Structure 1
């Protein structure tokens, strides 16, 4: 297996309405999380124990909820909250 990341339940569901610039920052951060998880757990398929709890990251002023599933070598992005838009 190779470590990867994905939106769950789907990209459409998780990212609906979020600005493209914010989503680009989210995807860069997701790639960083994949590299970190791969370095921490070289062979996730042999991982023993429960997975990590959901974690939250500040990304470009917004919020990203994610968790790691070591046995699947997967980082799951399950919620994105874009930064607030300035009032006019």
Structure 2
């Protein structure tokens, strides 16, 4: 398995009709978060510590909230807020 990101519970639920250009910015930044998580949590599925707390990440036009789960090798996007 390789690191990835996904919407949780679903893209429709999380994005809530936000404009496509804004969603593109969210997904671009999510790709960066995935690369950083993969570099920081090298052991991935073998990680034994507590999962990190969720974080809010600013993007042009709003922000999104995500959580990194090293044992899943996944960044889950839980909320998207378009301002």
Pairing 1:42-81 to 2, within 5 Å after superposition: 42-81=42-81
Scaled by the length of structure 2, the TM-score of the pair is 0.95
1:34 corresponding residue in structure 2:
34
Superposition RMSD on alpha carbons, in Å?
A: 0.8
Pairwise CA distance, 1:61? 2.9
User: How far apart are the structure 2 equivalents of 1:2 and 1:50?
Assistant: 20
| Structure 1 moving runs of 4+ over 2 Å | none
CA distance in 1 between counterparts of 2:2 and 2:43 reads: 9
Larger-Rg structure: 1
Q: Distance in 2 between matches of 1:75 and 1:33?
A: 8
TM-superposed deviation, 1:43: 2.4
* Runs of 5+ unmatched residues, structure 2: none
* Equivalent residues, number: 83
Return the TM-score normalized by structure 1. 0.90
Can you give the 5+ residue segments of structure 1 that lack an aligned partner in the other structure? 84-88
SS in 1 for 2:17: coil
